[in-house]
Structure 1
Amino acid sequence: MEKIKHIMEQLGLNTSLTLDEIPKIDLYMDQVIQLFENKFGESKRNEDDKVLTKTMINNYAKGKLIFPIQNKKYSKEHLILISLIYQLKGGLSINDIKVTLDEMNKKIIMGDIDLDSFYSSYLNLIAQNVEDFNRDIEERIKAVKDEVKGLQEDESNYLEEFLMISSLVHMSNLYRRVAEKMVDGIMVEKDGKRHR
Structure 2
Amino acid sequence: MEKIKEIINQLEMNQQIKAEDIPDLDLYMDQVIQLFERNYATSKRKEDEKILTKTMINNYAKGKLFFPIKNKRYSKEHILLINLIYQLKGGLTLHDIKLTLEGLNDLQSEGVLDLETYYETYLTVLENNTEEFKDELQEKLHSVENEMKKIDSHQEELKNVLTILSFVHMSNLYRKTAEKLIDQLLLANKEDE
State TM-score, norm by structure 2.
0.96
Aligned to 2:160: 161
- Is 1:137 the counterpart of 2:160? The answer is no
User: How does 1:181-192 map onto structure 2 within 5 Å?
Assistant: 181-192=180-191
Aligned to 1:119: 119
SS at match of 1:52: coil
User: How does 1:62-73 map onto structure 2 within 5 Å?
Assistant: 62-73=62-73
Amino acid at match of 1:190: N
Aligned to 1:171: 170
Tell me the percent identity.
Answer: 52
User: How does 1:81-96 map onto structure 2 within 5 Å?
Assistant: 81-96=81-96
**Structure 2 Cα separation of the partners of residues 99 and 157 of structure 1:** 42
**Structure 2 Cα separation of the partners of residues 54 and 7 of structure 1:** 31
Q: How far off is 1:165 after superposition?
A: 0.3
Q: How far off is 1:122 after superposition?
A: 0.3
Amino acid at match of 1:8: I
**Structure 2 Cα separation of the partners of residues 158 and 30 of structure 1:** 43
Amino acid at match of 1:126: L
Aligned pair count reads 192
Amino acid at match of 1:192: E
SS at match of 1:169: helix
**Structure 2 Cα separation of the partners of residues 36 and 141 of structure 1:** 33
Q: How far off is 1:115 after superposition?
A: 1.1
Unpaired runs of at least 5, structure 1: none
Q: How far off is 1:152 after superposition?
A: 4.2
SS at match of 1:149: helix
Tell me the alpha carbon deviations over residues 108-160 of structure 1, each in whole angstroms, 9 at most, x when there is no partner.
1110011121111100000000000000111111111111126243xx21111
Amino acid at match of 1:191: K
Aligned to 1:149: 149
- Is 1:4 the counterpart of 2:4? The answer is yes
- Is 1:18 the counterpart of 2:3? The answer is no
**Structure 2 Cα separation of the partners of residues 64 and 158 of structure 1:** 45
